[in-house]
Structure 1
């Protein structure tokens, strides 16, 4: 028999446990909708659950909204004063967690069978310790013409690729808004890297990817399920030029760290600390952006702006890591 989780929200001695964990910083715009959606979750048989939310220095009324749900949901509230999403997630890992820990974000709406699917994966796929699910968009407003065709949407808005299928997967293809980890991964000492991830306006993307790939390197295998579905709320201001430029720039920075992690960050001929090929490419892309603007070509403007700022981010981070590369 299926029943909604808010009707049974206490851990029982003979049941397995699910902990849902996410961090929030000034999340008042979406947090009310997110927690309200949790009241419609269907509980899997023989599992209990809890929600752990870590407030990461919010200055709006996020905390008050969180507290308003304490009587309706099995929610535990924590505060982490150190700025950064990964610092907040690591704070939650000090708590006594469930057998499986589901990580998500404060702007993600789960399907009502979300917990049921993860519980089933937990029991039916014992050789896997890392799990991921589908992330589809919840557009608050229709995207501008040409945008979705011009940029890598899965990167820009943290959505899963339409090519993904249920089954084993490389851990780096699992995205943070919808991922689950067996508790034993954390008991073995793995933590989120607090040097990267959301923190302020200009940060290095890929914090969950970094964690998952490090776990994979230690022998933990990953599994993806299309049945585990969430919707990622995409706000209209995320279509704006400034936001997209910043997102592409952060992605370019993340590429450097990803290549370094996989030991395939090549050394290049440098000009003032930047790869020479990259500077040439940057100039070329800038001219293409200007041409697209003159022609008022929406597709090319989105495409070339993204590529220009991604390349700029890559070059900036490559130069920052120059001394470290020389040391190696």
Structure 2
């Protein structure tokens, strides 16, 4: 019986919004994972209007008496709000975040538990995220454009993330004790179909300031689905534009804004120089994307000034 099972070590939090069919594939992969008996599965439905509830409840019913599965409905729109609900409901020592369109490798849970157990200084772990394209990879998708598609391969060695890098939400795990102090900021992150971000960067910045170790582990692998409707130049440029909006939103103090403006000026110069040497389709697209990011940043900062002058 489920109530006789020991407390879970890992709480797998899957936040989802209107992607029931992809969620079905993710859920169906979980029972086969090594050490799945050490985990609970929390499906956080972020106000979906499709058949997400039916998919989730059907899965939970099929696993009754075996896997611990809970379906949660979070009405407040936004990925950060959904993740925070998962954190509040989680019973495990470690919270493992998995996207609703990602399938973990068989050793995913075992890698998370063993790493945290052997490295008490480690407060977060990230791993490899391999793309699973719906059809085929476009010729213009060069290495420099991979991160917006959450394609991550940092090699075959276990190592700490460098100062300017951190895990991605499609495949990361955090000690729950850290979340006792820090939740995800709800003014950042995806909201419905808006491509805002920044909530993970903020969280890991707090972790770095507290000198907690953040580890990359190559055995922590997920395959991440990339649909054809994202494999367009318009989508990737929009993704960069919203990243720029995020950057502008995160700088709130006067000195912080001055530093951001200096950074933008340096980036414009860097982009202008690089544009002289951009010859391939992918290199030219990267220049256009970076300009969209700067446009988003400047428009956000200008709108904030207008709000202050008229507010």
Same fold (TM over 0.5): yes
Helix, strand or coil: the match of 1:54? Answer: strand
* CA distance 1:93–1:153, change in 2 (3 Å): same
Match of 2:290 among 299, 307, 326: 307
Where do 1:1-328 residues align within 5 Å? 12-13=5-6, 17-43=9-35, 48-70=38-60, 71-72=62-63, 73-149=67-143, 151-154=144-147, 156-162=148-154, 165-170=157-162, 172-187=165-180, 189-257=181-249, 265-266=257-258, 277=265, 298-322=281-305
Q: How far apart are the structure 2 equivalents of 1:114 and 1:279?
A: 38
Name the Cα RMSD after superposition.
3.4
Q: What is the rounded CA distance, in whole Å, between the counterparts of 2:2 and 2:215 in structure 1?
A: 28
Equivalents in 2 of 1:43, 1:61: separation in Å?
29
297-306 vs 27-36, which moves further:
297-306
The TM-score, its normalising length taken from structure 1, stands at 0.80
Point out where structure 2 has 5 or more consecutive residues left out of the alignment: none
Deviation at 1:216, TM superposition (A): 2.5
* Aligned-partner Cα distance in 2 for 1:229–1:217: 27
Could you tell me the TM-score, scaled by structure 2's length?
A: 0.84
Point out where structure 1 has 5 or more consecutive residues left out of the alignment.
1-7
- Between 1:313-322 and 1:74-83, the stretch displaced more is 313-322
How many residues matched?
300
User: Given that residues 278 and 315 in structure 1 are in contact (C-alpha distance below 8 angstroms), is that contact kept between their aligned partners in structure 2?
Assistant: no
